[in-house]
Structure 1
Amino acid sequence: MTDLPLAYQNLAADYIQKTHDDGGALRGSVYQQAKGNVENIFVKMPVGAGRKSLYIGPALQKETQAKVEAIKHASERARARRKDLSILNKVGVLSTHSYAGRVLDAMAYHGLFRNGAILVGTLAYQCYPLLLGCTLPSTQLATDDADLVAASLAIKADDGIDMLSILKDADPSFEPIPELDGRAKPSRFRSRIGFVVDLLTPTRTRGEKQPLELQGLDAGAMSLQYLAWLIDLSSPAALPYGSGIPVYVPRPERYAVHKLIISQKRAHTITKTSKDLAQAKALIEVVERTRPGLIADELLDAQAQGKQGWSDPIVKAMKAIWPDGSWQTRPEFEEFVDAL
């Protein structure tokens, strides 16, 4: 893990900002098509794995010509961002795998992130090198799933289409994974190659029926503890894929502490626990170096939430990461240790 030279940190910050500035802009190949005696303008915009043809207007109208100019400028800006990412690739900022990129691109195109979706899990972790201006361990970047948190059950796409239709823009082979209750809306979707999209949402009441319904997406979402805390005050970020995908992710310091907790809650595989611990350790070290004090703040905030479900798993995770006990003398953990 190394900090990028200042010029590249600025380039990374610029990439994020411009990705969000252009988040809803049309771009792509402009073409004309006649209907009767009228020439109409369309744009083929890249979305997910394909292109969508969108109507712009009659060719001779000034408003249409202004839109065409805007599309051309947006396309030029997208090409410039792709070049910027290529430069950042050369200094160690890795691009997201193309398949995951296409899936997230389809979600962004339909407005899920503008409308309250938060990206979590390993794909969120892939956004942190740009956000923090550093490199992170590449061994933790492989993933075969995408975890999306719906901050509100009222989340919907800009055009009102359902979740399965959104995913089919990325790969037509996506299908819902049936829930145990056959009447429940699906909260998980899987493509033919095995890539899984999980829809999640914060727990609202104990014992609530799973999954909760996302009516606007004709889907469900599994409610999980800790998610409300994790996504509080999430950060705008860019998934490093092509010209950038504008997303929102948990603040890196909160993501790190959340991973400490979750690593001790997983009941299924050692691999996932190891990944959680590795990501937490990497982010703790980077954040403490670049943003001193924030890890300490999040540890104290988590500690204030409770002991059994919060402080205790954090301590267990720290013992797993630093089995020699050195975590107890690290400056960023000092206040947390003193309060145990």
Structure 2
Amino acid sequence: MTHTIYAELLDQCRATQFSTHSLPLSGSLVEVPGENDLTYYYLQKSRRVAGGKQPREFIGSSSYKKVLERVKSFTSDKAIYKSREELVSALKKNGVTAPTAKLANLLLTLHDEGVLARSVLVGTLAFQAYGPMLGVKFGQSAFYTQDVDLAKADSVELAMPEKPIEKELLDVLKEFDETFDGIMGFDRKQPPVSYMNKDGLRVDVLFSFSGPERKKPIRASKIQSHAHPQRYLEFLVEAPTEAVLLIGGGLMCHIPAPARFALHKLIVSEKRNSSEAARAYKDREQASCLIELLIEEDPESLEEAYENLKARGPKWRTNFRKGLEKTKREDFLEFFQE
């Protein structure tokens, strides 16, 4: 049932993903009467900023034909959005894990500003999205997060709105919560690649690279931020898939293919230092959940991802093998040996 409801939710989200009204469907329309029988239209956003306020954005007046067209289109799509809210509610009642309220508000902001459409969501939030996508419920311990990990890869072309992002990512975050600030690294002269607020919500921007070592931040212009260069990331973000986050009437995003996510987690677990032992354990736990499921339901995707990984060189194969062995799952070892 979870799989069926989610599939319907995804179809409805796709239908209005790039609607001509270009207004966030999570908001609501406010009409203010004016002089000479004019009506002024505002979009009241659903997300709450610091102080619990819901900001309003002026759309235009009824004297303009294009404004009336936007309002009509928004009203039509809003009706679909409300039916999507019922699907999201049904999934939550069925035990599917969703982002916390504070994290949901942050993700709404990133969605409404076009940031999610221009990046690949990785990390635990991506893993969380695999549950309803694959029709399963994973253990709760693998789900909790306060982090939003955004990956940008220039080699990956994503379907996205035509309107570019004009604000710096930090400015977007500060409009949501003024306590957001950049996390400075050891070199104070370098621009930040991570941001955090007083509640511990964190946004990390990552950039895939290969070749010679790169330590300085890389500019990710499409999401208006610098990013942390991270090796092995290109394997993860190639050929991402569309997913829906269970927020409001559903938020479209891009996440890695489940098989690539699982194999990448085993590699990453081997690259963590001793102080990150808990994170390495979580990496292997998430990988094990997906591998166990995919061996049963979609072994071809695992085989394809593994062949791609092996072709990338001996370091890739060695780190993957070490991570796989630490899962202590003989059935996993047998599958990949075959």
Q: Decide: shared fold, TM above 0.5.
A: yes
- Quote the offset at 1:54 in angstroms: 2.8
Residue 312 of structure 2 aligns with an amino acid whose one-letter code is: Q
Bigger mean CA deviation after superposition, 158-167 or 14-23: 14-23
The equivalent residue for 1:73 is 76
Q: Percent identity?
A: 24
Q: Match of 2:332?
A: 327
**Residue 260 of structure 2 aligns with which residue?**
254
The residue number in structure 2 matching 1:87 is 90
Rounded to whole Å, the distance in 2 between the matches of 1:160 and 1:146 is: 21
Normalising by structure 1, report the TM-score. Answer: 0.86
Give how far 1:234 is off. Answer: 0.3
- Structure 1 unmatched runs, 5+: 336-340
Corresponding residue of 1:338: none
Aligned to 1:203: 209
In the TM superposition, what is the alpha-carbon distance from 1:276 to its structure 2 partner? 0.3
In structure 2, the gaps of 5 or more residues are none
Q: CA deviation at 1:245?
A: 1.4
Per-residue deviation, 1:62 = 4.9
CA shift in 2, pair 1:166/1:305, >3 Å? same
Corresponding residue of 1:240: 246
Q: Name 1:15's counterpart in structure 2.
A: 9
1:241–1:32 distance in 2 versus 1, CA, 3 Å: closer
Given the superposition, is the C-alpha separation of residues 132 and 170 from structure 1 closer, same or farther in structure 2, using an over 3 Å criterion?
Answer: farther
TM-score by length of 2: 0.87
Aligned residue among 31, 54, 57 for 1:54:
57
Which residue of 307, 313, 334 corresponds with 1:306?
A: 313
Distance 1:31 1:298 in 2: 49
Cα distance between partner residues in 1 of 2:312 and 2:221? 31
Task: State the distance in 2 between where 1:120 and 1:101 align.
Answer: 16
Calculate the aligned-residue CA RMSD, in Å: 2.6
Is residue 273 of structure 1 aligned with residue 280 of structure 2?
A: yes
Q: 2:129 maps to which residue?
A: 127
Q: Matched residue of 2:311: which SS?
A: helix
Which residue of the partner structure matches residue 144 of structure 1? 146
Separation (CA, whole Å) in 2 of partners of 1:60 and 1:99: 38
Residue of structure 1 equivalent to 2:42: 42
| Secondary structure of residue in 1 paired with 2:317 | helix
Q: Which moved more, 1:183-192 or 1:64-73?
A: 64-73
Contact 1:214 1:220 in 2 (8 A): yes
- Matched to 1:45, the amino acid is K
Task: State the partner residue of 1:100.
Answer: 103
